[in-house]
Amino acid sequence: MLPSIPVLADYGISPTHGFLPDVLPLTRLPDPYYNKWEAIVANLQGLILSRRLRGVVDRLPVLSTIGLEHDAEWRRAYMLLCFMAHGYIWGGDSPSDRLPAPISVPLLEIAEHLEVPPVATYAAVCLWNFKPLFMDEEIDNLENLATLTTFTGSLDESWFYLVSVAMEARGAPIIPLMLTAIAAAREDDATTVTSCLNTFAERVDDLSALLQRMHESCDPHIFYHRIRPFLAGSKNMADAGLPQGVIYEDGSGNETYRQYAGGSNAQSSLFQFFDIVLGIEHRPTGEKKATSGEEAERQGRAPPPNHNFISEMRRYMPGPHARFLGDVQAVANLRGYVERNSANRPLAVAYDACLSMLRSLRDRHIAIVTRYIVIPSREVRARSRSPETTRRRVNLATGSRQRAPGIAYHAEEPDAANGGKKNLKGTGGTALISFLKQARDETGEPAVEEWTKRFMSRRPRAEGQGDFFAGKPEEGAGLEVVADTEEVTMPGLAGSWTMDDDVGGICNY
């Protein structure tokens, strides 16, 4: 008997707002008992700039969570404490590896209640951190959104979060749409499945247009040096000053160091939902696709465990959202249905269009990653020997100056999946350029039509490599030589740049 198709209401997911809360995030906790938390976050930017946040937090009483009643209040409290926690850890000249009891005790309780880790997740900084400017306008309109809290008070930081909020809202109707497609595939209703897939492709194209608007109001220099350090977690952050992680003081005297990934767009349930319903499989970074012979050998055996970065990020989603993804995975049938009906040309083309649009969105994300992380990180390394850099803060942005190759890279050994080059890290604490490129390439692997497979697996040809300067005939003269570098031109504040294999990522889709 087939498992039942998940019902959105069972997971607290809205058919109109998706993974955003159906009830708008509170702008303030109603119980005056929590006024001290509200006052600190209302003045967070000033307290961080004046280096007074840690002293103020240290003098706070440990507040109970007994006054939190509705889900919206628990979410608001979680958001407040996460901003306080990351401001406390990263708001000094060097990071603090201890989180005091006034933050850690209630944060641990609230995180357990909401089934999220006690760290600034995507839910804390995006999903539960927005408000509409006008109640009669849609929240997928960027011009109608504002953040509730930021670390820096800058428009750039607000815009960075709100682009993701608008994308979540714009993509929300895809969720019930694709559940309808799954049900239609069970009934062998190819017409409905095709219609749903066509609408999916159009919606994902809308999301790409929203993502491209990141450049409008978020400056790469401000993001890299002022915003990104506060989003870092405590996992793989040795070069940023947290070699063991962070101790969450709970008064027991037996606290141990904890390590958590920082906020990452890989924690968006929406984009993992897209991969699941389309049957896109992501392997651990660097692992190659199995050959046909290896696949045949595996027939009849359980699939190998899939411990990759994307699956790990589910632990950073609200519990009901993560369970929803697991239950959708149990009923996802569209890839198999399309493969069995590959002779149905409209169905196959619609499915491949979805893959193409999602791959295109990931291409745009890599371009943003390059402009917002790669270019500033190279500038940091170029200035690292300058005499003006004698007094330095230690965080995710400045760690690249402390040693060669620096925080942006693996300290242990080169990344084999990246041609032996070391790889930039993101706020999630992982090597991201290899992850991003592999995730993009894996998006096209289930394509049904041969022309689609060729289109999505194409590699650009480098200029000048098709003539005799490429070498002797036996070395490839006159033949197409596959380029290792993808040329992407991005005009703007960063000028023109090249996206090559030794670059890194922001937060991942």
Is the distance from CB of 148 to CB of 131 less than 8 angstroms?
yes
Distances (CA, A) of 254 to 57, 97, 245, 249, 251: 22, 15, 15, 9, 8
Residues 396 and 429: their CA atoms lie apart, in Å, by 10
Reduced to 3 states, what is the DSSP secondary structure of residue 72?
helix
**Beta strands 246-248 and 98-99, pairing class:** parallel
Report the candidate in 18, 365, 397 with the shortest Cα–Cα distance to residue 176. 18
Is the distance from CB of 334 to CB of 193 less than 8 angstroms?
yes
Residues 509 and 502: their CA atoms lie apart, in Å, by 19
Name beta bridge partners: 431: 425
Residues 279 and 223: their CA atoms lie apart, in Å, by 34
365 known member of a binding site: yes
SS3 content of the chain, % helix, strand, coil (to 5): 50, 5, 45
Report the candidate in 423, 87, 96 with the shortest Cα–Cα distance to residue 241. 96
Reduced to 3 states, what is the DSSP secondary structure of residue 146?
strand
Q: Report the run of H or E that residue 210 belongs to, with start and end.
A: helix 190-212
Structure tokens, 331:
């009923």
Whose tokens are 């993701």? That residue is 164
Distances (CA, A) of 437 to 247, 281, 496: 34, 14, 20
**Beta strands 145-147 and 130-132, pairing class:** antiparallel
The single-letter DSSP state of residue 353 is H
Structure tokens, 168:
């979540």
Is the distance from CB of 318 to CB of 123 less than 8 angstroms?
yes
| Annotated binding-site ranges | 365
Please enumerate, by residue number, every residue annotated as part of a binding site for heme b: 365
